[in-house]
Amino acid sequence: MVFEYAPAPESTKIVDLKSNYKLFIGGKFINSNGAKTYKTINPATEEVLAEIIEASQKDVDLAVKSARKAFKTWSKLTGSQRGKYLFRLARIIQERSRELAVLESMNNGKPIRESRDIDIPLVAAHFFHYAGWADKLDYAGLGKNPAPLGVAGQIIPWNFPLLMLAWKIAPALAAGNTVVLKPAETTPLTALLFAEICQQAELPDGVVNIVTGAGETGKYLVEHPDVDKIAFTGSTEVGRIIAQTVAGTNKKVTLELGGKAANIIFDDAAMDQAVEGVVNGIFFNQGHVCCAGSRLLLQESIADNFLDLLYQRMKTLRLGDPLDKNTDVGAINSAVQLQKIKELAESGTKEGAQMWSAPCEIPNKGFWFAPTVFTNVSLSHRIAREEIFGPVLSVLTFRTPDEAIEKANNTPFGLSAGIWTEKGSRILEVAHRLRAGVIWANTFNKFDPTSPFGGYKESGYGREGGRHGLEPYLKAGK
């Protein structure tokens, strides 16, 4: 039975939105050196939220200089002194969590239920985790007294704006590096609020610098000769460009790229639980998730039954106002991303797959795509091979575990996978043979700051999170 819900919108009063934002360089908000500006919008309403600077090469240069200057003192602090700042940042994030969650939902389009209960708590948890590491670097597995690299250039995407910032900034600072971070062009606002939090925490000037802008600004950062390390999360396409640019330089690089994860359901799996896991795997965050379970692999004997249950469950998903506490599926982050999802969905139909969408009412304004399932999919279809990065699930079937593993691994990516079965031995055997960095068993899309995350093949290299997440920011000690 589907319940009727009265609207329960979260108030936006807690957010102090400015009409325009400056760059955060050397601990201060400063105007650009002759750069252009653009407007950032709310993707659920298309309303303009604020005017943002597209940082120029000179701005990036200034930010790198300020990070270099700050590195001299920040890297000399004891680990426990750096830890104190990180604990302070973590606590302020908790204190201001509601404000951060509302702003994240306004700028990204994700449901407040997710930004409030998942994104922002994980952001604080990441800072707490790495605050604890700052005085224990001797135990990071890199010998005694491992050394920081210097200035880290960090480029992040729009799907988890503040969480990706936390994944990048927390380990870098704990290890004694300073950073210049560029948020994605469509979602700069929580990064700029984080800059205010750095001021509130009295973080030394220049330890964190935030430069806003699009691909050009990111390019200046990647090409800058005085940057020691690049950390990137985003498309495989840009990951390739970055890998080419830094090849032959002394820059270290970590790349977290796309995915096309298989979520494998065996005939002995707990069905209702698995249906929830599939819904969470692909419709969480509108499917804008690099590790989304975008390929559902169903054992043939249960496929029809499972799909019936899945369609029933999907009919209860509520799509709409991201700030409504009852919303399950929010807005697609941008017109460009919506276009990409539509184009790939059309290719699915053209190539002969069968499309079914949940009967959601689509709002008049903003960017939306109803949760969608494709059946009759074959491995050669584009919707089975390319990352859609939207709420679209491609269903394939298999008869034996060997066939499931072969199909799951038949992808250029290797970021994540899910296994649903009652048998512990099957979980171990299948997990062992899947080429993916993160494998969930009887759950999906679970994140924890203590656990390393990263991919194989075209999903990139390097790990973020946990002890492994320190390695890309340290030189081995003695």
Q: Using CB under 6 A as the criterion, which residues of the chain lie in contact with ligand NAI when the complex forms?
A: 155-157, 159, 182, 184-185, 214-215, 218-219, 222, 233-235, 238, 241, 256-258, 290, 337, 340, 387, 389
User: Other CB atoms closer than 10 Å to residue 404's CB: what's the count?
Assistant: 24
| Residues tagged active-site | 256, 290
* Distance of closest approach, residue 137 Cβ to ligand NAI, in angstroms: 28
Task: Go through 177-195 and write b for each residue having 16 or more CB atoms within 10 A of its CB, e for each that does not.
Answer: bbbbbbbbbbbbbbbbbbb
The CA distance from 115 to 278, in Å, is 20
Which amino acid appears at position 313 of this protein?
Answer: R
**CA 274 – CA 276 distance, rounded (Å):** 5
Give the nearest residue (CB) to ligand NAI: 218
Instruction: Report the half-sphere exposure of 80 (CA within 13 A, side-chain side).
Output: 0
Q: How far is the CB of 306 from ligand NAI (least distance, A)?
A: 27
DSSP codes joined into one string, 73-89? HHTTS-HHHHHHHHHHH
Residue 33 burial (10 A CB sphere; 0-12, 13-18, 19+): middle
Burial 422-434 (b: 16+ CB within 10 A, else e): eeeebbeebeeeb
CB 472 within 8 A of CB 231: yes
Please tell me the distance from the alpha carbon of residue 214 to that of residue 49, in angstroms, as a whole number: 17
Which residue type, as a one-letter code, is found at position 49?
L
Q: Which of 216, 162, 171, 180 lies closest to 67, judged by CA?
A: 180
Cα–Cα nearest to 136, from 73, 82, 201? 82
Residue 257 Cβ vs ligand NAI, minimum distance, rounded to whole Å: 5
The residue to which tokens 């201001």 are assigned: 96
